[in-house]
Amino acid sequence: MLILLDIDGVLVPANSWKKPEFMEDGFPMFNSRSVKALQRILSETNASVLLTTSHKSKYKVAQWKDLLKSRGINPKRVHRLTTNSLLTSRKDEILQWYTKKRMPNEEFVIIDDDKMLNGLPENIKHNLVLTSPSIGLTDDLADEAISILQKSAYQYH
């Protein structure tokens, strides 16, 4: 199972009226409720994380693991999308991943605040959990993400 994870607007809520607070590593602090919600998804599903955030190229995978760990998030595995989000929209990045990189039959959920993702094809959009940028990931949305990841367990084949 895989979580395609954005950070801004998901773990770092966008408050236009307030500057983000940074940790010692120079990256913004995460919202504690959103961290708890994400960590619950991880512990209930054991999913890996695929970073889609525009910050993804700033750090190597090992550094990302440390950065997430110091903020209370411990995924089994962390990967990064290799596409350049400065040149490509998030929607196109995700489409490229879906057609070229996705492991067949692996359940996935996209957690993002980019409303352009509403324009994804229906079969991919079913796996989208859209956050409100100023609030980020909530407990209710975490429930939604868990049921998307676990849906095959309840389907008849």
Q: How far is the CB of 48 from Mg ion (least distance, A)?
A: 20
Question: Which amino acid, one-letter code, is at 66?
Answer: D
Q: How far is the CB of 7 from Mg ion (least distance, A)?
A: 7
Q: Looking up tokens 């995460």, which residue turns up?
A: 30
The residue nearest Mg ion at its CB is 9
Edge-to-edge strand list for the sheet holding 108-112: 78-80, 48-51, 2-5, 108-112, 128-130
Q: How far is the CB of 47 from Mg ion (least distance, A)?
A: 19
CB 52 within 8 A of CB 82: no
Judged by beta carbon, residue 91 or residue 150, the one nearer Mg ion is 91
Judged by beta carbon, residue 8 or residue 93, the one nearer Mg ion is 8
> Which pair of tokens denotes residue 127?
């796996």
Judged by beta carbon, residue 11 or residue 41, the one nearer Mg ion is 11
Q: Kindly list the residues in this chain that would bind Mg ion in the complex (CB under 5 A).
A: 6, 8-9, 113
> Which pair of tokens denotes residue 100?
């070229």
